[in-house]
Chains A and B, each alone.
Chain A
Amino acid sequence: DVKVTQSSRYLVKRTGEKVFLECVQDMDHENMFWYRQDPGLGLRLIYFSYDVKMKEKGDIPEGYSVSREKKERFSLILESASTNQTSMYLCASSLPTTQRYTQYFGPGTRLTVL
């Protein structure tokens, strides 16, 4: 079974802090994704990566950056955390097969910025 893990289930940070959210998958998937989930807004794509050192902006990249130095690890960075970044953050991975796109999700990190 595919396993996607995220470094923390709950995280509390202060405004202005630099925050790192880590995601690791163990199935050699090329594609990895970061979403945030907010009530009434569903899942919104922040960034995704289709290969090591490759990244593309999603729908809401402002205030975030990402790093993918190894295939299995995809990090989301909040350069200077703000209260409007309080949210549930979900990481996912998938194979690059053109006919499937099925994504496998981690358990999520609930981030609170005070």
Chain B
Amino acid sequence: SQQGEEDPQALSIQEGENATMNCSYKTSINNLQWYRQNSGRGLVHLILIRSNEREKHSGRLRVTLDTSKKSSSLLITASRAADTASYFCATGIIQGAQKLVFGQGTRLTINP
């Protein structure tokens, strides 16, 4: 069963604006990661936030994690046309093997 659910499913904004995507999950996690997928390609890891962290930055990316609400958000600031892609959250569960459970993704379109 799917662990993470992204919201919105699709987002279209103008270049230069900020883009915010949200992810909710159901069970306890070890960490939460965000991945990016360009159309028809594999996924690329963007950023990881551990369960004991609340916020993390990497370049134009900012990730927050609220374990009490079982939710995370990914903010991309000053968006560029090249940011057009699908973005997935993935949760690293505590028990079992080191699997990730992926959400269904948010399709982000940056309009020039």
Binding site for B on A (CB under 8 A): 4, 31, 33, 35, 40-43, 45, 48, 50, 56, 58-59, 88, 90, 92, 94, 96, 98-108, 110
Contacts and interface: CB of A to CB of B under 8 A. Distances in A.
Contact of A98 (B1, B33, B98): B98
Given A40-B104, A98-B30, A102-B33, 14 more contacts: A42-B103, A45-B101, A59-B1, A92-B42, A96-B98, A100-B48, A101-B92, A101-B98, A103-B45, A103-B90, A103-B100, A104-B45, A105-B35, A107-B42
Contacts of A100: 31, 48
Given A42-B2, A45-B99, A96-B98, A101 B41 contact: no
Contacts of B105: 42
A102 B42 contact: no
11 contacts: A31-B98, A43-B88, A50-B97, A58-B99, A92-B43, A99-B31, A101-B30, A101-B31, A101-B92, A107-B41, A108-B41
B44 interface: yes
A105 to B, nearest CB: 4
B74 to A, nearest CB: 16
B50 interface: yes
Contacts of B43: 43, 90, 92, 103, 105
Q: 9 smallest A-B Cβ distances: which pairs?
A: A105-B42, A42-B104, A101-B92, A43-B102, A105-B43, A107-B42, A101-B98, A102-B45, A108-B42
Interface of B: 1-2, 30-31, 33, 35, 40-45, 48, 50, 88, 90, 92, 97-105
Contacts of A88: 40
Contacts of B90: 103
B97 A56 contact: yes
